[in-house]
Amino acid sequence: MYVAGMAAIVATMFLALARAANGPTVFDRILAVNMFGTKTVLLIAVAGFLTGRPEWLDLAIVYTLVNFTGTLAVLRFARFGNLARDDRKADRS
Amino acid sequence: MRPGVLALLAAVWLSLSGPYTMHELPILIFGLLSIAFVWRLYLALDRAAGGGSEFFRASSWLRLPRFLVAFALKVAAANLHTTKLILSPKIELHPRLRRVPTSQKTSFGQVLYANFITLTPGTITLDLRDDELLVYALDAESEADVMDGSMDRDVLRLEGGSD
Amino acid sequence: MNGALDIVTAVLLSAGGLFCVVGGIGLHRFSEFYQRTHAASVTDTAGAGLMLLGLMFQGGLSMVTLKLVLVLAFLFFSSPAIAHALVKAAHGHGLALELEIEDEPGRNGDAAG
């Protein structure tokens, strides 16, 4: 049963990748990549149970948080073209 | 509920790292340091947002299970409806943008309501401004729970009632 | 090990997988970015929720289940934040929005934020 679930997850990952590859706007791509990240979390969790090592869930937790931060960072980069600039400073200069 | 947040952080850390004996004292100290750091971060964020995160009174925790049930039912129903929309042979959508008032007292309550709407497939919050939400919905059935205010009432009840 | 629990897990896992694939299909069938966010939200809520719930039945009352609950909680807090950030960014960027009904356009309609 774990294998069936993983197959569904991987199929969804490919669908998301296809959307990321030919999404017309940059937002479509970010949305698809974020979905890919969520599926990775699920894949890690299910694979952990399949191999009898539920400790992998720690990796899933970390991946959830990294996925969240990473997506926001990429989104910010796509909008402002810069990750580090302080907006208030930019207004002044 | 500042001490409540502290307790929550400690509980999460403990549950993730497992119970320690005094042999692992350094790890315990690092854990305490990380909790103190995150708490400090939370206080700074709360101040930057102008307060309003004192949402969870003790009584709110008691009402949480009932809210979660209502939440799960609404999300499940919306999921089924959106699935029907996706799988219907001819995609037929009536997208709309709605202005929705919020009645929550705290900003945390408003954010919870906005997140509730966004998490429900078929509706998504575009903006939160002046106690009003800008909600984008796929069709009339998707927005029904938002427009009749039943989700608003769920969050309000969790918050502790309007009075 | 336990037959009944295994069946519950299998059913929940398959249902979750089904919703995942449905969301993936929706990502391709919907024609506009704003509509696709709804398809992604199906996989994030029903797909992830059902699959993790199914795994919880295997974990039983243990640390494993607690960690699954944590994953679910983090997902349910982060996914609307991401969806909102994406949609707001796209809206502020001026990505066209197909609408049939719109409440009082103007005041917030072209928010630059």
pTM for the model = 0.84
**Residue range C10-61, pLDDT digits in tens:** 999 999 999 999 999 998 888 888 888 988 998 888 999 999 999 998 888 8
The range of the structural domain enclosing residue A40 comes to 2-92
Amino acid at B133: L
What is the tally of structural domains in chain B? 2
Two tokens, residue C85? 């950030």
**Residue range B30-63, pLDDT digits in tens:** 888 988 898 888 888 888 877 666 655 667 778 8
pLDDT class for B162, splitting at 50, 70, 90? very low
Same domain, B40 and B65: no
The range of the structural domain enclosing residue B82 comes to 59-159
**Residue range A59-91, pLDDT digits in tens:** 999 999 999 999 999 888 887 776 666 555 444
How many angstroms separate the CA atoms of C70 and B12, rounded?
A: 9
ipTM of this complex prediction, to 2 decimal places: 0.82
Percent of chain B with pLDDT over 90: 2
Residue B54 belongs to a domain:
no
**Contact residues, chain B, for C37 at CB < 8 Å:** 124
Look at residue A92 and tell me whether its pLDDT is greater than 50. Answer: no
Q: Cβ B75–C46 below 8 Å, yes or no?
A: yes
- Return the residue of B nearest to C41 by Cα: B121
Q: Cβ B118–C35 below 8 Å, yes or no?
A: no
Rounded to an integer, the average pLDDT of B111-131 is 87
**Strand C101-102 with B96-101, pairing:** parallel
CATH number at residue A78: 1.10.287
Closest by CA to B104, choosing from B115, B118, B90, is: B115
pLDDT class for B19, splitting at 50, 70, 90? low
Which of B:68-107 have CB within 8 Å of C? 75-76, 79, 82-83, 85-87, 91, 93-99
Same domain, B43 and B64: no
Look at residue A45 and tell me whether its pLDDT is greater than 70. Answer: yes
Residue C98 belongs to a domain:
no
Same domain, B113 and B38: no
The range of the structural domain enclosing residue C63 comes to 3-93
